[in-house]
């Protein structure tokens, strides 16, 4: 069996077209997304560029506030209060990771739930638990949207979620429960991971550990949604690292799944890159337009409808 690819770029394009219509229905109201970036994390910088590009296509103003690592937590809280009170601000993003002296949970809780376009305020996480999701964490939303694009029935399906983070693993688990799927959450203390995955109709993996899922761990025909992403060295046929013209090791992006062996068994699989990533950026734009509609008291359309 050769798995069919879940094309994240095509899926994202469809989502953005749908969002474009919702954006047009706001009758020209200006939308503004403010991104707070503390420090100089390289991965965050790449994500920010993608966010800005997607917002510009939707005529959403994107303002980046780059703060030094030395910024105090209290100063950042004060800035969040100012943005919450600013009626010209539609949404707020707090880029991760934050410097070690800052507490993620405290800061996310300071963002008003209706401006929390990343869906990480405890109130928005709680809405998923109660089965009435509004602003859902973008990566979790993206992964489930990739799964739904396959058209497989989720009611009664066996799902394994590898990873239990507050941003991805736990929200996905509750979203699956809301679909009446049976979800097993695995993590660093899980024993016999392969025993769990071999019975799963759907596998989500989000731990950033290349090769943690291999073909012999997958049920034939299962859907594998690979959320993990990491740069690894490129190697030649002899196993030695490949070097660029400047003598530096060449790098490539890969996910958690051993793509070739898993694709030979699975029914569907997301590639890395080109799978969950593009859809995540599209979902950020979706959440921004959704936030604007909520703030105007307009009806909202669930992203997973």
Domain 138-279: which CATH class? alpha beta
Q: Give φ, ψ of 301 to 5 degrees.
A: -110, 120
Per-residue pLDDT of the chain (305 residues; tens, 9 = 90+): 589 999 999 999 999 999 998 888 887 789 999 999 999 887 788 789 989 999 998 999 999 999 999 999 999 999 999 999 999 999 999 998 899 999 999 999 999 999 999 999 999 999 999 999 999 999 999 999 999 999 999 999 999 999 999 999 999 999 999 999 999 999 999 999 999 999 999 999 999 999 999 999 999 999 999 999 887 777 778 777 777 788 777 777 889 999 999 999 999 999 999 999 999 999 999 999 999 999 988 877 766 65
Q: Residue 135: how many CB atoms within 10 A of its CB?
A: 29
H-helix or E-strand spanning residue 50? helix 42-57
Smallest Cα–Cα separation from 149: which of 20, 270, 22? 270
How do beta strands 158-162 and 91-94 pair? unpaired
Identify which of 261, 266, 248 has the alpha carbon closest to the alpha carbon of residue 214.
261
Determine which helix (DSSP H) or strand (DSSP E) holds 77, and give its type and residue range.
helix 73-85
Q: Considering the chain, tell me which residue range(s) the CATH 3.40.50.720 domain(s) occupy.
A: 138-279
- How many CB atoms are located within 10 Å of the residue 88 CB? 10
Phi, psi of 115 (to 5 degrees): -110, 5
Structural Rg of the chain based on CA atoms = 20
Q: Which residue has 């919702």 as its token pair?
A: 22
What are 257's strand-pairing partners?
213
Residue range(s) in the chain whose domain bears CATH number 3.40.50.10860: 29-115
Backbone phi and psi for residue 67, each to the nearest 5 degrees, phi listed first: -105, 145
**Maximum Cα–Cα distance for the chain, whole Å?**
62
Whether domain 29-115 has CATH 3.40.50.10860: yes
Distance of CA 192 to the CA centre of its chain: 27
> What does pTM read for this prediction?
0.92
Structure tokens at 263: 């694709």
């Amino acid at each position: 069996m050769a798995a069919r690819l879940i094309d994240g770029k095509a899926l994202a394009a469809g989502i953005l077209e749908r969002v474009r219509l919702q954006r047009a229905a706001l009758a020209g109201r200006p939308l503004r997304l403010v991104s707070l970036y503390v420090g100089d994390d390289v991965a965050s910088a790449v994500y920010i560029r993608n966010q800005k590009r997607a917002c510009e296509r939707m005529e959403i103003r994107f303002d980046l506030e780059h703060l030094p690592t030395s910024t105090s937590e209290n100063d950042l809280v004060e800035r969040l209060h100012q943005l919450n009170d600013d009626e010209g601000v539609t949404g707020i993003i707090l880029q991760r990771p934050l410097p070690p002296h800052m507490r993620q949970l405290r800061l996310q809780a300071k963002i008003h739930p209706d401006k929390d376009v990343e869906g990480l305020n405890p109130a928005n996480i709680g809405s998923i638990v109660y089965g009435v999701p509004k602003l859902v964490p973008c990566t979790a939303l993206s992964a489930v949207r990739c799964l739904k694009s396959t058209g497989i029935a989720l009611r009664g399906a066996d799902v394994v979620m590898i990873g239990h983070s507050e941003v991805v693993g736990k929200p996905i688990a509750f979203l699956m429960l809301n679909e009446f799927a049976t979800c097993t959450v695995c993590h660093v203390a899980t024993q016999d991971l392969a025993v769990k995955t071999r019975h799963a109709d759907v596998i989500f993996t989000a731990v950033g550990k290349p090769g943690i899922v291999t073909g012999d761990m997958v049920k034939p025909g299962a859907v594998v949604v690979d959320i993990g992403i990491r740069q690894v060295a490129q190697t030649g046929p002899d196993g030695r690292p490949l070097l660029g013209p400047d003598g530096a090791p060449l790098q490539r992006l890969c996910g958690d799944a051993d793509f070739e062996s898993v694709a030979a068994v699975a029914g569907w699989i997301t590639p890395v890159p080109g799978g969950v990533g593009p859809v995540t950026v599209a979902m950020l734009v979706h959440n921004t337009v959704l936030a604007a509609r909520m703030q105007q008291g307009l009806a909202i359309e669930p992203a997973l409808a």
